[in-house]
Amino acid sequence: MASPTALTLTCVALFLLLAASVVVAIGLGGAAVPPAETARHLWAALTGGRVAADEVTTYQIVWQIRTPRVLLAALVGAGLSAVGVAVQAMVRNALADPFVLGVSSGASVGAVGVTVTGGLAALGVYAVSAGAFAGALVASFLVYAASSERGALSPLRLVLTGVAMSLGFQAVMSVIIYFAPDGEATAMVLYWTMGSFGAADWGALPVVAAVVLPSLVVLHRHGRALDVLALGDEAATGLGVSPDRHRRNLLVLVSLVTGVMVAVSGAISFVGLVMPHLVRMVVGAAHARVLAVAPLAGAVFMVWVDLLSRTVVAPRELPLGVLTALVGVPVFIALMRRRNHVFGGR
């Protein structure tokens, strides 16, 4: 277990790495901008400084196009990692991730339905995101209604209900795509469900930040409760913690955060599954420690994944879900094969 000083140093190092990664990622792309020039443009945007006429195009690329995308990637990476920690404690399952509860599949159905039918057209560019968020809320409500019994939520029922709902929503999405009259809309939907920050802009960023950042604080402050939940319901009750009440609150929070993230980025796999385990190997199994480090590590990871997605085969973009799976699967297998590593801690 890491000492408080080591934990602080780890967080500081990850924060500095995240800041450097953000600047580098903003500067790289189809039109590369040196880090020093990128930092100068960012400073001008933040302080209202002047930009020379011959640098206006570069400034717009840096501030209007890449900055909101990179910041959104950092927020989503942090949110996925933190929610992954909470879900694994909530359902006491080391193989759980933010999408095990069916929220991601519900959001995908909402986005597909809006794209294919043209619904919510009055919302303009936010129509798909609004549809995804509505689908996530419906999915979380159905999972709660189907898995609760006399107000109690057992981890096993939550997992089984979430898996069943995910399969059901995926079937609904497949039917909608199959009967879609517009092939272009179908292709866009399939790409969106594999994850992308291509539609990121300054309009979406405040909403995601307003949900994800406070949720990180709430989860960290409930680290002790997560420790107790991970011990089992009998142990939690004996220690004066109501497992059902905490599980309900966590389900609402997880559904809200996951729905918001899926609405702006699509379904991104493995981040919420693998990052918590990697962090536990460094700082131990105490959830307060894990929740201090995991968001920063997830943010750094997602910033670099997004950078790779838009530069490896430029000018085309690789779906984020493809890259996270290519990284996540080998890492996950390697973790399982470590004889001295037990999922959920050391």
The band of 296, judged by pLDDT with boundaries at 50, 70 and 90, is very high
Res 338 pLDDT > 70: no
Residue by residue, what is the 3-state secondary structure of the chain? CCCHHHHHHHHHHHHHHHHHHHHHHHHCCCCCCCHHHHHHHHHHHHHCCCCCHHHHHHHHHHHHHHHHHHHHHHHHHHHHHHHHHHHHHHCCCCCCCCCCCCHHHHHHHHHHHHHHHCCCHHHHHHHHHHHHHHHHHHHHHHHHHHHEECCEECHHHHHHHHHHHHHHHHHHHHHHHHCCCCHHHHHHHHHHCCCCCCCCCCCCHHHHHHHHHHHHHHHHHCHHHHHHHHHCHHHHHHCCCCHHHHHHHHHHHHHHHHHHHHHHHCCCCCHHHHHHHHHHHHHCCCHHHHHHHHHHHHHHHHHHHHHHHHHCCCCCCCCHHHHHHHHHHHHHHHHHHCCCCECCEC
pLDDT confidence of residue 340: 52
pLDDT for res 345: 45
Position 307 confidence tier, pLDDT thresholds 50, 70, 90: very high
72-337 placed in CATH 1.10.3470.10: yes
